[in-house]
A and B are shown apart, each in its own frame.
Chain A
Amino acid sequence: MFGMIFDSVLRFATEYNQYFSSGMAYLGAGVAVVAGLGPGIGQGFAAGKAAEAVGRQPEAQGKILVTTLVTQAVAETTGLYALLVAFILIGK
């Protein structure tokens, strides 16, 4: 299976032209955005814990909301880098 993929990539590489290159760039953009998995899990975890905290201490809701927003925005960073890489690849 793996050898077959490798062979086909090799065959494409020998017939290399600009369509092949831009196609690979789009493929790379698609693969890069898979990094969105990580921030999704992380943000969901943070949101779940925040909901738990509000359930336990409803009077601290304001502070919990602020902390959650900031930590979620920090967790988002890696996903945003993936998006940036995808944009750069599309613009190629």
Chain B
Amino acid sequence: MIKFTFFENLSPQVISTLIVVTFLAIVFIIVGLKVKKLDPHKMPKGFLLFCILVVEAFNKMVKSYVQEKPYRFFAPYLFTIIVFLAFANTISLFGLNAPLSNLGVALSFSVMTFFVLKIAEFKYLGVIKKVDGLLGPVKPMAILMLPINLVGEIATPFSMGLRLFVNLMGGAVIATMVYAALHWTLGIIAGLFLHAIFDIFFGLIQAFVFFMLTTVNISMATDA
């Protein structure tokens, strides 16, 4: 007899993922509505100005790595990725579990990256050039090069997701170990340094690195 349930108990990491997604969705919708109503003759103020400056800086950065056409298509995706990762990696400051310390969440990022790279290749490179690239420059060696290149197609996104997972997981494990070993008064002092290093510093660097690697891979997939 198989029992059918709609929802298994969600793991705490997935719950904090949902919280981050909901929060970011609300913020993005509000900012989008406000930007739409903006008066072009007046200087924007406060939080809106900050958002506009962030998007400008981001656009300038992506433009220096990707060509014009792929930039128009992929910049929104890249911005979503980096904002979500930056929030998700620092969310453990608020007492929630870091979402990326769950293998399922981290590997869903590699699945997403895989499909994005395939879309970039089919849209801007074409099937014939892609197959030509897979066979390698020396055609008699193609039978040797093809399996290696096919493994590389999967290994790149897989290692990107796994890198995120192990970084956040390592931080979470070390923090848990130190908290378990110390009395809570010492734990507060140790937590100051632990969260500064593992959540803010490593988390933001990993978010930036994931975004940067996606950008570089997209530009490599569309150039060639």
Contacts and interface: CB of A to CB of B under 8 A. Distances in A.
Interface residues of B, number: 16
B169 A73 contact: no
A5 interface: no
B151 to A, nearest CB: 16
Interface in A57-92: 66, 69-70, 73-74, 76-77, 80-81, 83-84, 87
A73 B166 contact: no
Nearest to B212: A70
B7 to A, nearest CB: 26
B19 interface: no
B78 to A, nearest CB: 14
Interface stretch (B48-56, B80-88, B89-97, B201-209): B201-209
A80 to B, nearest CB: 4
B76 to A, nearest CB: 22
Contacts of A66: 212
Interface residues of A, number: 12
A73 B170 contact: no
B163 interface: yes
A80 B162 CA distance: 8
B136 to A, nearest CB: 23
Interface string B163-184: 1011101100100000000000
B108 interface: no
A69 B159 contact: no
A77 B212 contact: no
B163 A70 contact: no
Nearest to B170: A83
Interface in B16-65: none
Contacts of A87: 166, 169, 173
B213 interface: yes
6 contacts: A69-B205, A76-B163, A81-B162, A81-B166, A87-B169, A87-B173
Given A73-B206, A74-B209, A80-B162, 7 more contacts: A70-B209, A70-B212, A80-B163, A80-B170, A81-B162, A81-B166, A84-B162
Interface of A: 66, 69-70, 73-74, 76-77, 80-81, 83-84, 87
Q: Which 10 A-B pairs have the closest CB atoms?
A: A73-B209, A80-B166, A70-B212, A84-B166, A83-B166, A70-B209, A83-B170, A77-B163, A80-B163, A77-B159
